[in-house]
Amino acid sequence: MLTSLPGKDANFKELMNLIDSINIKIISELVKDPAASSLSLSNKLRIPLSSLQRRRAKLEKLVLSKVYHVNLKVFGGKIGEIIIKVEKGKSREVAQEILKKYKNNVMSVSTRINTEHNVSAQLIYKDTAELHNLLESIRSMLYVTNLQWSEIVETLGDNSSSAVVAFFNQLGVLGVHDGTVLRSFRR
């Protein structure tokens, strides 16, 4: 069982106390449907509304982030991802420059650890000409040695809820899947 997080011991205990079987069920449902009303969750999980609202407020303050996604494809937008190989330990600098310089196309950028590439950017574009210009411009940046591109064609599913529950199981927290208790809570 995980007992601390590197550099986060003070908050870790509070967070672990927050994650119990009921809160895992609430998290799982909210990951599936962030717009779910407290009343519908209360009914579905058979938890008193006031308790659910209190728990939800605390989870939303400390653990959950609500995000809206715009379906840009309905407007003809294409969404892609580029992964970039950056040399000389300059991945953070390159990522920040991409985010600043290409704010009309780059939705997010992150640094990565893998065997080949170390910066990833999610982008939106209208057509292949715009994409080509964007890729060539990024390819010419200082410290960029290579990049690969892919377009998101179709999202086939979302296992976020199950993956979140599995993550908490690996932490040694009470396991719940589809309302079924998998093992006891360990402290």
Please state the three-class secondary structure of the chain as a single string: CCCCCCCCHHHHHHHHHHCCHHHHHHHHHHHHCCCCCHHHHHHHHCCCHHHHHHHHHHHHHHCCCCCCCCCHHHHCCEEEEEEEEECCCCHHHHHHHHHHHCCCCEEEEEECCCCCCCEEEEEEECCHHHHHHHHHHHHCCCCEEEEEEEECCCCCCCCHHHHHHHHHHHCCCCEEECCEEEECCCC
Q: 1 in a domain, yes or no?
A: no
- Same domain for 32 and 90, yes or no, is no
- Same domain for 105 and 46, yes or no, is no
Q: What percent of the chain has pLDDT over 90?
A: 54
- Same domain for 43 and 93, yes or no, is no
Q: 2 in a domain, yes or no?
A: no
Count of domains observed in the chain? 2
- Same domain for 76 and 125, yes or no, is yes
Residue with tokens 């937008």: 77
- Same domain for 175 and 106, yes or no, is no
pLDDT digits (tens, 9 = 90+) for 114-152: 888 899 999 999 999 999 999 999 999 999 999 999 998
Contacts of 162 (CB under 8 A, 6+ apart): 177
Per-residue confidence band for 155, with pLDDT thresholds at 50, 70 and 90: confident
CATH number at residue 104: 3.30.70.920
- Asked whether the predicted pLDDT for residue 36 surpasses 90, the reply is yes
Q: 4 in a domain, yes or no?
A: no
- Same domain for 78 and 145, yes or no, is yes
Residue-level pLDDT at 173: 52
Tokens of 15: 């967070």
Q: Containing domain of residue 118, as a range?
A: 72-151
Residue-level pLDDT at 120: 96
- Same domain for 92 and 62, yes or no, is no
- Same domain for 99 and 60, yes or no, is no
Residue-level pLDDT at 10: 54
Question: Phi then psi for 84, rounded to 5 degrees?
Answer: -125, 135
Q: Which of 70, 40, 72, 78 is nearest to 56 (CA)?
A: 40
**How large is the average pLDDT for residues 9-23?**
76
For residues 83 and 148, the answer to whether their CB atoms sit within 8 Å is: yes
Give me the count of residues in the chain. Answer: 187
